A and B are shown apart, each in its own frame.
Chain A
Amino acid sequence: MNKAHNYGTDGHGHDHKAAPMVEEITDFEVLEIAVRELSIEHGLFTAEDHRRFTEFAESIGPAGGSRLVAKIWTDPAFKARAMEDPVKACLEIGIDWSKPTGFGTPSDYTHLTILEDTPMLHHVICCSLCSCYPRPLLGMSPEWYRTTNYRRRLVRWPRQVLAEFGLILPPEVEIRVEDSNQKCRFIVLPLRPSGTENWTEEKLAEIVTRDCMIGVALPEPGRTADVHPVVKARRPVHHEEAAR
């Protein structure tokens, strides 16, 4: 076999099995294409605009927020600057809120506040009105963030909603919900967990997951993703019990 062309057996240069695809064209897929094409033809936006926004949406994630939190944890001088002017401090980690897409996203250019947790105060963010979210720092919002179940119930029953994420806080810890809007965005600065002394900024950033910066989870050594293998609960918690 010619090594220069040893691309495997699927004919596409891949040496692995192709991931399964949905081999069906749904009306939803057709509708999305149709309304987009008509929008472009009507001059509502251009195909180039759409491509750039798509690239932006697919390229951002929570890594910027993780870096921000880790740097605040390890650099007191940076923390002072970040708490004073978060948007300006974001420039130091390579995030420009005025130009997150590289060409300006007006809906993202907002007033940013960093919400610092303490041992007796826990913050959690939502947008009770719609789905405002600190996209330049956290990427696209999770689907559940947009649901009425989360955003409307969180402002009324935060302790119960957090329990539904598996985050059960002691009764003496105050929970403060910050409601985002079109011009005000928030990110939670969680407490640095014990056991992370002498960790590098990069290693710390790995445990600051998206959910920690929304406030529905807490960072902990060894947990580097919001999704983990599911195990049966040793002591199941009931809704009413968690809400107390």
Chain B
Amino acid sequence: MSHKSEVDLGRVTLLEAMRGQGKEWEVLAPCYDVTNPNPPWKTSLTAMCDCLDASGALPTLDRRRAEDELAEAVYSDVPAPESQLLALVHTMLNHGLVSEGELAGRMRTVRSRLEAV
């Protein structure tokens, strides 16, 4: 393909740890008799992509090119929209918009907060 992105296809340790746990929405939702085709965070993810485009931090075309390459080369066994989320974060890490260390720390904080209620 002529429109290659600048994305690094190397594996990201933090994101690799999330795979293969059977927690993708298409697996999880039927276990709870939930029929909504999308997880509750899907629209928020879409809005985040729009925000990143509108602010110029990560233009849509760059993001989607990277997503295509990552979906084929790295996250081919992950269904949508989880693959879209992983590809977005992977691309943001590549662009230096966030770091893996701070993201891992924030994930611990967020999980503690959610589990506290």
Contact = CB atoms under 8 A, between A and B. Distances in A.
Interface residues of B, number: 56
A143 B40 CA distance: 15
Contact of B44 (A25, A50, A140, A147): A50
B38 to A, nearest CB: 8
Contacts of A75: none
B61 A182 contact: yes
Contact of B50 (A34, A53, A147): A53
Contacts of B23: 24, 26-28
Nearest to A36: B48
Interface residues of A, number: 44
Contact of A22 (B34, B72, B110): B34
A193 interface: no
B52 A130 contact: no
A130 B18 contact: no
Given A22-B29, A44-B55, A35 B18 contact: no
A105 interface: yes
Contacts of A57: 43, 46-47, 50
12 contacts: A20-B34, A21-B32, A27-B18, A28-B25, A30-B114, A34-B109, A34-B110, A35-B89, A42-B98, A50-B47, A130-B65, A131-B64
Top 10 closest pairs, chain A to chain B, by CB: A130-B64, A53-B47, A45-B51, A54-B47, A34-B106, A32-B41, A26-B23, A44-B57, A53-B50, A27-B18
